[in-house]
Amino acid sequence: ILNVEQSPQSLHVQEGDSTNFTCSFPSSNFYALHWYRWETAKSPEALFVMTLNGDEKKKGRISATLNTKEGYSYLYIKGSQPEDSATYLCASQGGDYKLSFGAGTTVTVRA
Amino acid sequence: GAVVSQHPSWVICKSGTSVKIECRSLDFQATTMFWYRQFPKQSLMLMATSNEGSKATYEQGVEKDKFLINHASLTLSTLTVTSAHPEDSSFYICSASRDLYNEQFFGPGTRLTVL
């Protein structure tokens, strides 16, 4: 199980503002980095899977970047909306199949 | 994406009783299912990996005799917490995958409270 850290633990953002947060993971023996969006009482929903250094993925107003050499990934939310309020989880996948999760960043968008 | 259900969504039981949690893949065949546990303010921690028709592989520190896992079909895995104690109170969540390295689809989780 890998040591994956997310920061900040929580953040509040005004509707319409953009925000970003970080996931750091061990850079050795790296296979893939996963981002999930998890709303209360629902199933975690897969956002992105990234494998290559420099990967950038985008889904609507949400995007993510990956730096495998230094072991970090950023998730960006552009023009935050109340429906973006959720906990965002990252998980690193090493040489085996297992996912090691961070504790998540809880985003609250204020109208 | 694929849909995974989990039942029950929450359960309260007395210390010493056993509790069974079901995880179902509703629209695909899941060769592999995973069980995770999350304590408050901590990350999801993998407990065990189960492959259909074979014994589960447990992570270090997880008692296999306490957390019984059955993956008898390609759409159903069950986790039974035997002789539950208050320290077993936690959030249990499963995921299902078409194979070991494929994308994992998560259920909504089960909140277990042991009195």
**Over the stretch A63-102, which tens digit does the pLDDT of each residue have?**
999 999 999 999 999 999 999 999 999 999 987 889 999 9
Residues of B in contact with A4 (CB under 8 A): 43
Report chain B's C-alpha Rg in angstroms.
13
Q: Which of A78, A70, A81, A82 is nearest to A23 (CA)?
A: A70
Give residue B63's pLDDT.
95
Contact A46 B41 (CB under 8 A): no
Cβ pair B95, B107 in contact under 8 A: yes
Pairing of strands B10-13, B110-114: parallel
At B102 the pLDDT is 81
Share of chain A above pLDDT 90, in %: 90
* DSSP β-ladder status, A10-14 and A105-110: parallel
* B chain contacts of residue A43, beta-carbon cutoff 8 Å: 4, 105-109
Shortest CA distance from B110: residue in chain A: A41
Query: Confidence band (pLDDT; 50, 70, 90) for B1?
Result: low
Answer whether residue B42 shows pLDDT above 90: yes
Task: State the pLDDT at residue B72.
Answer: 84
A86 CB neighbour count, 10 Å cutoff: 20
Min mean pLDDT across A27-31, A99-103, B49-53, B99-103 is at B99-103
Hey, is the C-beta of A111 within 8 angstroms of any chain B C-beta?
A: no
Task: For residue B93, name the pLDDT band (cuts at 50, 70, 90).
Answer: very high
CB contacts, 8 Å: A25 with chain B: none
SS3 B19: strand
Answer yes or no: are the C-beta atoms of A73 and A50 closer than 8 Å: yes
Q: Residue A52 pLDDT more than 70? A: yes
Mutate to test the interface with B, among A2, A24, A43 (most CBs of B within 10 A): A43
Whether A50 has a pLDDT exceeding 90, the answer reads yes
B25: β partners: B4
- B4-7, strands of its sheet edge to edge: B4-7, B19-25, B76-81, B67-73
Closest Cα partner for B112 from B62, B38, B45, B61?
B38
CB contact under 8 A, A98 and B46: yes
Closest chain A residue to B107, measured at CA = A43
